[in-house]
Amino acid sequence: MAQSRLGELRIPVDGEWDMEDLKQVSEGLSDTYGLFYPLVAEDEVVRERLQDALRDTFWSGNMDSRFLGERLYRQIPRDESLKLRSFHYSSPGAMTLAGVLSVLLLMAGVATAWIKVGSNFIDLWDKVEKFFKERKHLQKPGKETELDDAMMLDSDEARGLVFEVGGQLGFTDKSCEVLIGVVGNPISALKFLVCVGREGRKLSTMQREGKLALPAPPHEGIELRSSATAKKRMKGRVEVEIKKSRKPKSE
């Protein structure tokens, strides 16, 4: 299997920590790592399998990132999962984790976004929540969906939001395009960004509290990787029945 370049993550540890802090950091990091890994995995077979899981999940409407991230993390090859390199408990102390560098940087990007943009990002987040609240039928659509005029307008609006939210989270325009292709459509891509945004908010809170020290995200963004056979396979993809709108005949 092709080996991704590994990086390290340093997490401050001091006498103020308790067991709940340790659990929160461990779960938050592994869940977010599980969500991002399918987007940058180098091995084609692994990437295809995990991206199939993303497409199935985000179209069906199951947006519980806690369990999805955990499920995906368990499927990551052992040599590319998060590893505990060292743990030194004192004042100050630290534990060092190692993992795929591009995944660690994506995690850092979403956490940094919440810290930098503040209220502006919250306003955008409200806009996304309003989008799904007003379109309850998109929260859990069927496998076969009619691509009528309303769905096309919803898809166009979702696409715009993907680029707005993605840009705030550190995704380049090119990466947003790849993300839409990976998860199948703009609506699913927006759901994915909702999940990683929630996890990023948790990580940013830990960082502000001094419980986490994420690496600085790159200025040029992270290049995402799609499956080479994604367009040839139907598993996990949305099957759309296209029907053209017909104008009523004049009497």
Are 195 and 182 contacting, i.e. CB atoms less than 8 angstroms apart?
Answer: no
- Give the per-residue pLDDT at 143: 55
- Give the per-residue pLDDT at 50: 92
**Which of these, 129, 140, 196, 130, lies nearest to 166 by C-alpha position?**
196
- Give the per-residue pLDDT at 244: 38
**If you ran DSSP here, which 8-state letter would residue 239 be given?**
E
Average pLDDT of the segment spanning 35-59: 88
Residue 57 backbone phi and psi in degrees, to 5: -70, -50
The length of the chain in residues reads 251
pLDDT tens for 212-244 read 777 776 666 667 877 765 554 433 334 433 333
Residue 85 backbone phi and psi in degrees, to 5: -85, -35
Q: Pick the residue with more confidence: 168 or 140? A: 168
- Give the per-residue pLDDT at 199: 84
pLDDT at 191 over 80: yes
Query: What is the rounded CA–CA span in Å between residue 239 and residue 36?
Result: 25
Q: Pick the residue with more confidence: 156 or 3? A: 156
Q: How confident is the model at residue 248 (pLDDT cuts 50, 70, 90)?
A: very low
Q: How confident is the model at residue 208 (pLDDT cuts 50, 70, 90)?
A: confident
DSSP string across 86-120: EEE-STTEEEEEEEEHHHHHHHHHHHHHHHHHTHH
123's enclosing H/E stretch is: helix 119-133
- Give the per-residue pLDDT at 77: 92
- Give the per-residue pLDDT at 250: 46
Q: Give the chain's mean pLDDT.
A: 78
Q: With the C-alpha atoms ordered 5, 212, 172, 185, is the resulting torsion angle positive or negative?
A: positive
pLDDT tens for 55-105 read 887 876 555 555 788 888 999 999 999 999 998 887 778 889 899 988 888
Average pLDDT of the segment spanning 1-29: 78
Give the percent of the chain with pLDDT over 70: 78
